[in-house]
Amino acid sequence: MGATGAGKSTFIKRVTGRSDIQIGHALTSETLECKAYSFREADTNFCLVDTPGFNDTYLDDAAILAQLAAFLESSYKAQVRLSAIVYLHPIASQRLEGSALNNLAMFRKLCGTDFYPNVILATSFWGVVDAETGRRREVELRENDEFWGAMIKRGSQIVRLPDDREGSVQLLARLAGKQRTALQIQRELVDQGLSIHNTAAGAGSKNVQALEALRKEFSDRLAALAALRDAEMQRREAEFAKLRAEQDEAFEAGLRKHREDMEAMKAKHEALLREQATKREKAMKEQEELLRKQRLETEKVRAQLERMAVEEAETVAVRVLAEKEQASKKQTLQVRHTREVQMNLIGGGGSSVYATIAVSPAE
């Protein structure tokens, strides 16, 4: 919140990175209604609300208050609480006076003293003033109870608004940890059921009836927008439900097809296993039959070899026996012959001895 040209939209655009946020570069305001912008940073969801500035070009302060009241009333009824309000003031501006003081007074009544600890009083545009001038104005804002002093004494904080995104996000991160609470005007409108002109902030309005009419107008507009939003959400939910049903049906069909394919593959695999088992069993039987025949053939050959060995042994034995008999006969003949020779020698003289000696080597 803050006066027109204080840098509210610039700050929100900087931290959200939204390109659709219009920024005024003249004395006219680009923000004509309360707008919420959401973004996520460091696992924290932020929602920043840009508001029309006081001293607006097109809206008087009563209309702005009515619009703020309608927005705050609607959010409070929706159980939405604010973590903080950043109230911007350009440090280049001269001292607060006249309508600026009236608007600040209205802002204090809108918040209520219980909400002061959740108020950040931020000075902006330090780059357009020299440091000493800015410091002097900052001291005046801090120490003067008519300006920010009274709020600071009750817990509000004063900061210099960072001109970079990192510093701006760090500021918001500190605010996100604050205890959320209700503003005074929210309790007055909702809890106490007061009309806007009976609230502390609206009591000083010059045109009470117009103020109440504006609040009702903005409330009706918010209600209409909420109805449109609900209708759009219902439409999207119906589309989503239809899409989900189609996806579920497609998934189930795909799942059934997958199961059928798996069953067919399983049956084919089992048939192949049975076929392989049959072939393996047949091959084993054929192998066993072949081994049986080989064993029989081996036994037959072994028996034949044994029989041949026996026959060969018998043949050798007969031959050896025959040779022994022949040798024995020959030896007998030799002995007999020797005896005959000896007998002849005994009867016939030395020439016979020579003959015997000559015959022996020949034997």
| Per-residue pLDDT reduced to its tens digit, 72-103 | 998 999 999 999 999 999 998 876 666 778 88
Torsion, Cα of 93, 94, 96, 97 (10° steps): -130
**pLDDT value at position 82?**
93
Q: How far apart are CA 44 and CA 13, in angstroms?
A: 18
**pLDDT value at position 206?**
55
Instruction: State the average pLDDT for the chain.
Output: 83
pLDDT at 229 over 80: no
> Which of 120, 107, 116 lies closest to 61 in space, CA to CA?
107
Q: How far apart are CA 69 and CA 104, in angstroms?
A: 16
Instruction: State CA 297 to chain mean position distance.
Output: 73
Query: From residue 334, how far is each of 253, 331, 344 by CA, in Å?
Result: 118, 5, 15
SS3 38: strand
**pLDDT value at position 272?**
81
**pLDDT value at position 353?**
47
Superfamily (CATH H level) for 8-206:
P-loop containing nucleotide triphosphate hydrolases (3.40.50.300)
List the helix and strand counts (H, then E) for the chain: 9, 5
Instruction: State CA 210 to chain mean position distance.
Output: 55
**pLDDT value at position 22?**
62
**pLDDT value at position 165?**
92
Q: What is the mean pLDDT of residues 264-276?
A: 84
**pLDDT value at position 356?**
46
Q: What is the mean pLDDT of residues 279-288?
A: 88
Q: What is the mean pLDDT of residues 201-222?
A: 64
> Which of 46, 45, 52 lies closest to 8 in space, CA to CA?
52
Tokens of 206: 């010059």
| Per-residue pLDDT reduced to its tens digit, 28-81 | 444 567 888 989 988 899 999 988 877 655 567 778 888 888 889 989 999 999
Determine which helix (DSSP H) or strand (DSSP E) holds 313, and give its type and residue range.
helix 208-348
| Per-residue pLDDT reduced to its tens digit, 148-187 | 999 999 999 999 999 899 999 999 999 988 999 999 999 9
> pLDDT class for 214, splitting at 50, 70, 90?
low
pLDDT at 207 over 60: no
Q: How far apart are CA 146 and CA 94, in angstroms?
A: 15
pLDDT at 4 over 60: yes
Single pTM value for the model: 0.56
Q: Do the Cβ atoms of 188 and 87 come closer than 8 Å?
A: no
| Per-residue pLDDT reduced to its tens digit, 11-26 | 999 999 887 776 544 3
Torsion, Cα of 44, 50, 54, 55 (10° steps): 140
The larger pLDDT score, comparing residue 20 to residue 189, is at: 189
CB-based contacts of 49, cutoff 8 Å, min separation 6: 34, 35, 36, 37, 71
Q: How far apart are CA 296 and CA 302, in angstroms?
A: 10
**pLDDT value at position 5?**
82
The larger pLDDT score, comparing residue 212 to residue 323, is at: 323
Give the percent of the chain with pLDDT over 90: 29
Determine which helix (DSSP H) or strand (DSSP E) holds 289, and give its type and residue range.
helix 208-348
Tokens of 199: 């609230």
Q: What is the mean pLDDT of residues 134-141?
A: 93
Q: Where are the beta strands (DSSP E) in 104-263?
A: 119-124, 157-160
pLDDT at 329 over 60: yes
Determine which helix (DSSP H) or strand (DSSP E) holds 48, and give its type and residue range.
strand 44-50
Tokens of 238: 């119906």
| Per-residue pLDDT reduced to its tens digit, 102-133 | 888 889 999 999 999 999 999 999 989 999 99
Sequence ranges of the domains in the chain? 8-206
**pLDDT value at position 25?**
43
**pLDDT value at position 341?**
82
Query: From residue 307, how far is each of 136, 148, 320 by CA, in Å?
Result: 136, 133, 20
